Chains A and B, each alone.
Chain A
Amino acid sequence: MRIVIQNRSQLPIYQQIIDQIQAAILSGDLQPGTLLPSIRGLAKDLQISVITTTRAYHDLEQAGLVQNVQGKGTYVQAQDPALLREQTLRQVEAGLQAALDAAKIGQIPPATVHEMLDSLIAAGGDDHD
């Protein structure tokens, strides 16, 4: 399991943990049933406060991504494919909305945005993440 914390990021540390664990679960890198590091162990490993890791795990549990089993630890939950697709669609929509907002500020006409999207799709869309 890989978690990288950036201290100078404007993103709060607990959010960085949530994002990375969520991405690993949704991509399948973390399989259902996987035991995550303990809250206290993770805090020590990342040199951050226990409250920060507690909050990250709590939010992941609220989102249905992990489950805390009292006295045993925190496990990755099996994900509902329809829910996953819904979340992915929302991410795509947010990205497209950001592109449209930028286009509006720069007065780029919608036709040009369409062309750019088409050429990105034609290029395979995999040259960056």
Chain B
Amino acid sequence: MKNTAIVASSTAIIKGRKQKYMYFRKSWRFHLMLLPAVLAALVFNYAPLPGIVMAFQNFKPWLGFAQSEWVGWDNFQMVFTMKDSIQVLWNTLLISCLKIIFGLAVPVAFALMLNEIRQIGLKRSIQTMVYLPHFMSWVILGGILLDVLSLQGIVNQALTFFQVEPIMFLGDGDWFRITVIVSDLWKEFGFSAIVFLAALSGINPEYYEASEIDGAGRWKQTLYITLPSMLPIMAVVFTLSLGNVLNANFDQIYNLINPLVLQQGDIIDTFVFRNFKGGQYSLAAAVGLFKSLVSFILISGGYYCAYRWTNYRVF
């Protein structure tokens, strides 16, 4: 029984004409199945790549790539000497790094806490509620936040009730950054915890039984069994999230930003989009290319490290 299974599964190593023919037939079907995905990738992901040259041109849409004037590194030079762009880079780094740190710590803590709950019904209800914001778009959440965080909004009403001065959450630069980080955390922490909950449920219960015999309490168990078992998956999530260092979430910031907080809230993506709308194609493309290159290095580095250290593979 087991032998036939092994033989049948390894079509590739079976010798003989008939089997080879069968393998070939199967293989062209595999290529056919991949054809739609490959076509979509070629058209929408690979075909735009040559367009990157516009970062080195003074691109005019009516002239196209062929006739637009070549300017070398001028666009990059201009961007990096602009005072705005240094501020934008700093904003992006600050917001995204804080998001990465809290976006790892809070879901882990939440998963640990939720793991203690033994009533299945209660556990499931909590999960239903905390996953919900993840599925809402930043347009909807932006609309909700504009309403509840306004000066007369329900949050400031509650603050007034507790004798706290009303806060301009979206109108003051420092509060804007805090609001952006906290609201992103609020939206995603529950959903990000899923992968940690899965890791928790995969821990061998025998470890806990053995430690109980040795007299370990729940706190000791968490410290010496649960956390060490979660370290590999935490390392993977962290290294992979490093690819987002220049990605502070366009959808969110674009829907919450206003002229009052442009100085402290503007990030690379909103900067690119504004310049693009203003007709500064090449400048915007240069900034976009800079971001793509840095992300490329960070993401591939992250994948490589995750593979080397924890044997994680994307594909």
| Same complex | no
